[in-house]
Amino acid sequence: MAQGAARDLWAANGRHEFVFRKKAESLSGATFVRLRLPAWLERVGVNTEGRNITPCSARHSLASTLEAGGVPLRYI
């Protein structure tokens, strides 16, 4: 379902680099992202000690930050 939605967005708006992909034309599943998220956070310097950061919590934190910054909800 999510893969179909991402493909529809690509068709309507063009492709964007923010969509997680394993390789060209292959969208990542939830397990792919969940298992790799800790390494990605470490790579960019996010201190995860004592924190349980999941893809869902990261997405909601980003949405809250964008909303607080004045980004219209339709773009979040």
Q: CB within 8 A of 54, min separation 6: which ones?
A: 34, 37
> At residue 25, does pLDDT exceed 70?
no
75: DSSP letter:
G
> At residue 19, does pLDDT exceed 60?
no
- Strands (E) in the chain, as ranges, are 21-23, 26-27
pLDDT for the residue numbered 36: 86
pLDDT for the residue numbered 9: 67
Find the mean pLDDT for residues 15-35. 67
Percent residues over pLDDT 90 in the chain: 5
The structure's pTM equals 0.53
d(CA 17, CA 23): 12
Q: Give the residue with greater pLDDT, 72 vs 1.
A: 72
